[in-house]
Structure formats: C-alpha cells, structure tokens
A and B are shown apart, each in its own frame.
Chain A
Amino acid sequence: MRRGTLAVAVALYAAAASSTAPLTGAATVAVALPATAALVLATRRRPRPGAPAPGTDPRPTDPRPTGPRLRRTAAAWALLVGLGAAWELAAWLRQPAYDVAAPDHPTLSLLLDPVTGGGPGRFAAWCAWLYVGWRVARR
C-alpha cells in the first residue's frame, strides 16, 4: 500500500474511532476490528519469495542486522518491557479494586487518560496505535 493511501486510511479510521468514548462497546469494536485484521495477517503471513527461512543465515546482500547486536537489542528491550509490566502490575495491584483507580498508585492508563480520553490527544493516540499495528502486521 502506498504511504499516502495508508496515511489517509489511518487518519480516517482514527478520526472515526477517536470519536468513540472510552469504556463503551463502540470503542471496543473500534479496537477489535484492526486487532482482528492484524491477528489474521500475522497468522497467515508467508515468507516473501526468495527470503531466507527463519533461523537460517540471510543472503549475503541482506543489509538487516543479525547476531550479537540483534540479541543484545532484544535482551535490552525485553528487560525494559518486563520492568514496565512489573511496575504497571505493582501499581494495579495497589488499587482498592480491579476497576477502581488509586490516585496514589496510578497505572499508565490512568496517567495517560487526560491524553487518550478525548480530543486531539485521543486522535493522535489512535493514529500512533494504528501505524504501529500496520508496521507489525504488514507483509
């Protein structure tokens, strides 16, 4: 898909989706549609013709990094994501109930709520989420 077409499609969908209010069925459906499409693409994707099989050495002309640098980067990001998940979980566990926020121990979603709750921030968040999804699921 051409970048211009993609940008317009993302902006249009984000505009419609960001008009839905959080904690509603419409917002859930708006997330579920692209999420389902991405999951289907992720499970049905086949390697490109001529691409090296997973686990094998890439072609000599393939500029993509491999080896220790890639493993080091993966380890660093895994550590960071793990720490983030643990920190989020620790804050969530200090809530009085699973669906009752604790201002003294805010979760990431509570902190981002002023941004993602509505307005231009919610539109921007939708655009960013859709772009990352396309980046992950594209063939």
Chain B
Amino acid sequence: MTARGLTIAGFAVLAIAAAALITAGRAGRLGLVAPGDLLDALRARAPARLAVVLAWAWLGWHLLAR
C-alpha cells in the first residue's frame, strides 16, 4: 500500500469509527449516549462549551476559509 493509500485508509477507519459511535449512541447500545446528549452535557459547563466552540470555529476556518 502506498503512503497516500495508508493515510486515506487511516481517515476512513476514523470516519467509520465515528459513524459507529453515532449509531451505537443513538441506539443506546454499548453503554453509550447519543452525540446530542453529550453535546448538551458539554454545553452545561462553560470551559467545555468554550472549547467546543473554539474547535468548531477552527474547523470552519481550516476547511472553508483556507
């Protein structure tokens, strides 16, 4: 496998893992909660809320502005 293929495969594995976490959380399986519930819990605490907003802002700048 080429270096490019390996890099892309790594991102693909992470995307599949994210999809699995979302699916399991929404279905209440594996002892997980839905991503929205986690987000609500994070939003209840100011430092976590600020960190999430900063991460969101960076993602927008990274993917949409540059």
Contacts and interface: CB of A to CB of B under 8 A. Distances in A.
Q: Do A and B come from one complex?
A: yes
B27 interface: no
Contact of B14 (A38, A39, A70, A84): A84
B8 A111 contact: yes
Given A105-B4, A129-B59, A70 B65 contact: no
Interface residues of B, number: 42
Contacts of B39: 135-136
B20 to A, nearest CB: 10
A74 B35 CA distance: 9
Given A42-B49, A80-B21, A70 B54 contact: no
A43 B54 CA distance: 11
Instruction: Tell me the dominant secondary structure on chain B's binding face.
Output: helix
B49 A136 contact: yes
B49 A116 contact: no
10 contacts: A17-B64, A22-B65, A28-B65, A35-B53, A39-B54, A43-B46, A51-B44, A72-B32, A76-B21, A136-B39
User: Across chains A and B, which 9 residue pairs bring their CB atoms closest together, nearest first?
Assistant: A35-B57, A42-B53, A27-B65, A65-B33, A31-B65, A104-B3, A73-B32, A31-B60, A28-B65
Interface of A: 17, 22-23, 27-28, 30-32, 34-35, 38-39, 42-43, 45, 47, 51, 54-55, 64-66, 68-70, 72-74, 76-77, 80, 83-84, 87, 91, 103-106, 108-109, 111-112, 116, 122, 125-126, 129, 132-133, 135-137
